[in-house]
Structure 1
Amino acid sequence: MRVNTSKIWACLSACLRDVVEKKPHDPIEYIAFWLKKHIENERYKAKKAEEAEQYEKLKAEAAVEQERKAIRLEEARRLAEEELERLKAEQERKAREAATASKLSDVEEKDEHETPRDPPNDEKEDVIKEEEEDEQAKEAEGLEQIEEKNEQDEEESPDGRVEATAEDV
């Protein structure tokens, strides 16, 4: 393995410069701790550089994914607009067909009016009114019977309380 000697000499010269400036009691021990700390710092810098590189890659991937998402949304919007236009055209076509059919039925109705008519509406209304009156009379009779039954039950109850029976309900 080939080691870059210029980095080693730069590191050692910085270490020796620091030893000369600070003049520690035990320079050998100071150099050992200084070199250990220098190696830790270099590893930390390398780790941070790698993390920054990974962050940039993730950021680029996110930008690409965001662009893809925008394209998909635009495509979905375009398809929805096309579907809406197709539905509007279909509704307009159906409306025209219905208008044409109603015009045709109007013509047919005019032909039917020339045929013999149904009995007058007044007679039909009289029959309907009679049926309604019969139903109302039946309901009134039923209510009267229920009231009579309740009065009888009240008279039979010893303490005056009304007791409901299955027939009343």
Structure 2
Amino acid sequence: MEAKYLKDNLGCLTSCLKEVAEKRPHDPIEYIAFWLRKHVENARLKAKKEEEAKQLKKEQEEEALDKERRAKRLEEARRLSEEEAARRKAEEERRAREAASASKLPVVEEKEEPDVEAPPTTDSAEVSGETAGEESESKEAEPETEGEQTGVTEEGDTTEADGDKTAEGATTDEPSEEQPPAEES
């Protein structure tokens, strides 16, 4: 026999016999039977309480896991809603920027260029016999109206009415507007 079995089952008999010797009941066999029934009932109650304690502990652990899962789900739902709100806000800002940038752009209308041809002009400087240097000085002194004497149209293109004009709109004899005329000392 094993020691644990003897201790659990026969160890209680020693306690029972000890009580019988101390109390000296009228019927010791009946007392021992009653005591053993009570002992078995107590053992069952103790096992039941241990089982309930294990079950309670297991339920508490499951509840803690469920609570943790719910917290994670809530956190994820909150995070997803924040991401969705941020995405919506970014989309609205992008749309607002597009609308603002689209409204800030000037309206471009295509204008038809007038088909009016400029009458051929003669260079008055050549007729009067002035030199090229004197001609540029006289042109600088004259007030020019925009688009008539310079040969510039409204769109900023140059007309080629004069044969001396280059693609930039300056004559070969005239100094360019970008470069200041050379000063003579």
TM-score range normalised by the length of the shorter chain: 0.5 to 0.7
Q: Deviation string for 1:93-131 (max 9, x for gaps)?
A: 111122123334xx44xx8xxxxxxxxxxxxxxxxxxxx
CA distance in 1, matches of 2:80, 2:5: 61
Hey, what does 1:11 align to over in structure 2? 12
CA distance in 2, matches of 1:21, 1:32: 17
Q: Deviation string for 1:133-160 (max 9, x for gaps)?
A: xxxxxxxxxxxxxxxxxxxxxxxxxxxx
CA distance in 1, matches of 2:64, 2:101: 55
The Cα of 1:22 is off from its aligned counterpart by 1.6
Hey, what does 1:70 align to over in structure 2? 71
CA distance in 2, matches of 1:91, 1:51: 58
CA distance in 2, matches of 1:32, 1:84: 77
The Cα of 1:7 is off from its aligned counterpart by 1.7
Q: Which amino acid aligns with 2:81?
A: A
The Cα of 1:67 is off from its aligned counterpart by 1.4
1:5-154 correspondence to structure 2 within 5 Å: 5-104=6-105, 107-108=106-107
Q: Which amino acid aligns with 1:27?
A: P
Q: For this pair of structures, how many residues does the alignment match?
A: 108
Which residues of structure 2 form unaligned runs of 5+?
110-185
Taking only aligned residues, the RMSD between alpha carbons, in angstroms, comes to 2.2
The Cα of 1:81 is off from its aligned counterpart by 1.1
Identity rate, percent: 60
Q: Deviation string for 1:33-70 (max 9, x for gaps)?
A: 00000000001101111111111111111111111111
Q: Which runs of 4+ in 1 moved over 3 A?
A: none
Normalised TM-score (structure 1) = 0.58
CA distance in 1, matches of 2:7, 2:102: 96
CA distance in 2, matches of 1:64, 1:20: 55
Hey, what does 1:156 align to over in structure 2? none
Structure with the largest fraction of helix:
1
CA distance in 1, matches of 2:48, 2:54: 10
Point out which structure has higher relative CO (alpha carbons under 8 A, 6+ apart): 2
The Cα of 1:31 is off from its aligned counterpart by 0.7
CA distance in 2, matches of 1:64, 1:74: 15
| DSSP-derived class of the 1:4 partner | helix
Larger Rg over CA atoms: 2
